[in-house]
Amino acid sequence: PYTGPSAAEILSKRKEYLSPAMFYLYNKPLNVVDGKMQYLFDEKGRRYLDAFGGIATVCCGHCHPHVVDAIVNQTKRLQHSTILYLNHAIADLAEALANKLPGNLKVVFFTNSGTEANELAIMMARLYTGCHDIISLRNAYHGNAAGTMGATAQSNWKFNVIQSGVHHAINPDPYRGVFGSEGEKYAKDIQDLIQFGTSGNIAGFVSEAIQASPIFTGVGGIIELAPGYLPAAYNIIKKAGGLCIADEVQGGFARTGSHFWGFENHGVVPDIVTMAKGIGNGIPLGAVITTPEIAEVLTRRNYFNTFGGNPVCTAAGLAVLNVIEKEKLQDNAFVVGSYLKERLIALKDKHDLIGDVRGRGLMLGVELVTDHELKTPAKLETLHVLDQMKEIGVLVGKGGFYGNVFRITPPLCFSKEDADFLVDAMDYTMSKM
């Protein structure tokens, strides 16, 4: 049993010693003390079904024994920086990751986070092309350092960003976007941005395949880019000499079920792929993968990362890939995700409050609106359902520009029974409103 400080004590310490800007998912924040696969436990030992942890970090399941063993064994043996000496862990994971990617994407740079991975990717695109301009999508989140804050396309996330050369293209959002699901029409905006806002040549384009966003409101909201958008966008970018960067921080690692990487759902092959979160199942790790030709640009200047690719984190990363393969987690994401989506669509027919159900595999979004025609965001209702589901024992996330989208992104070991429990809890809560 847990004998540590109570939720109230932790909260008061956090208020005194940690950032005042910290936010919590619930008004009465949950004190989670243990995790096991798709479950979290609070200080009283109460179990919660975690349908959100996947997005934060957990891909194979909380404290997956195989990943824990890999971390513990490597920690006992050696933890160090890998910039000075040889060690097999970093090389083994680089090889395993390269084998997961199409085409000539086989040179890996490791980082500690998604932000660092995207910063490096953007810098490489600029070095390779000799151009500065970057295009990203409105409603995108790519990180919180100088360059990625610029690429992140919403005011709340920007602070004194010197946004020279960053252009935000119209978001190909099938639910709220002006062209509905006609992807190619949205892509024309990229052409316009290049034509009217740049010299005609650009460094690159960065986007997710499904916009998932960080923990809170502001951006993302599980928006699947309209079909046909990415192929058209990539063509335009290539013609302007730019590189295409796929941000797989949330959509990679088998989450979409049908494919291992999110971009594969759109039939495109990027020039640079960035990843983090799920790659380490909770351990801080990120990576940038590109072609040998593009990777070459980093021989022209210095780049190193003290802890990027350290033995403990890369041992965890390799264990994650093994677990995904051995436990057929991609198939599970597809089967359970499809089933869960079907049940959520049926729930939409029952409850007017649900305006849209979307996403792929175990990366699903449920958008709540008070009016289907006007798509008026049901913000308060979202908070209420979120809270009530927690009381029942189910944790889902929240996001989207208006904070009215449930983000359902569980660890990939989520079962059909878990899916039923989640939908039943949502149904029960909405029925009582």
Say how far apart CA 245 and CA 18 lie, in whole Å: 34
Q: Find the shortest distance in angstroms from Cβ 432 to ligand PMP.
A: 33
The two three-digit tokens of residue 141, written as one number: 């989140």
Minimum CB distance to ligand PMP smaller for 87 or for 136: 136
β-pair type (376-377, 363-371):
antiparallel
Cβ-contact 30, 390 below 8 angstroms: yes
> By Cβ distance, which residue is nearest to ligand PMP?
114
Q: How far is the CB of 102 from ligand PMP (least distance, A)?
A: 20
CB 206, min distance to ligand PMP, A = 9
Q: State the minimum distance, in angstroms, from the CB of residue 53 to ligand PMP.
A: 13
Sign for the pseudo-dihedral over CA of 9, 384, 422, 285: negative
Q: Is the Cβ of residue 262 or residue 311 nearer to ligand PMP in the bound state?
A: 262
Q: Considering beta carbons, is residue 141 or 414 the nearer one to ligand PMP?
A: 141
Maximum alpha-carbon separation in the chain:
64
Angle at the Cα of 274 (from 360 to 70), degrees rounded to 5?
90
Rounded least distance, CB 263 to ligand PMP, Å: 12
- Which C-beta is closer to ligand PMP: that of 222 or that of 312? 222
- At closest approach, how far in Å is the CB of 250 from ligand PMP? 5
Smallest distance, ligand PMP to C-beta of residue 57, A: 9
CB of 251 to ligand PMP, least distance (A): 8
Nearer to ligand PMP, 141 or 234 (CB): 141
Residue 139 or 330 with smaller CB distance to ligand PMP: 139
**Residue 397: which of 366, 427, 428, 360 has the closest Cα?**
366
Smallest distance, Å, CB 18 to ligand PMP?
17
Nearer residue to ligand PMP within complex by CB, 276 or 320: 276
Task: Between 166 and 430, name the residue whose CB sits nearer to ligand PMP.
Answer: 166
Nearest to ligand PMP of 250, 281 (CB atom): 250
Residue 160 contacts by C-beta under 8 Å, 6 or more apart in sequence?
none
- For ligand PMP, give the closer residue by CB, 24 or 428: 24
Residues that bind ligand PMP (CB under 6 A): 113-115, 118, 141-143, 208, 212-214, 247, 249-250, 276
* Min CB(287)–ligand PMP separation in Å: 11
The angle subtended at Cα 171 by Cα 146 and Cα 205, nearest 5°, is: 50
**Dihedral of CA 261/266/272/276: which sign?**
negative
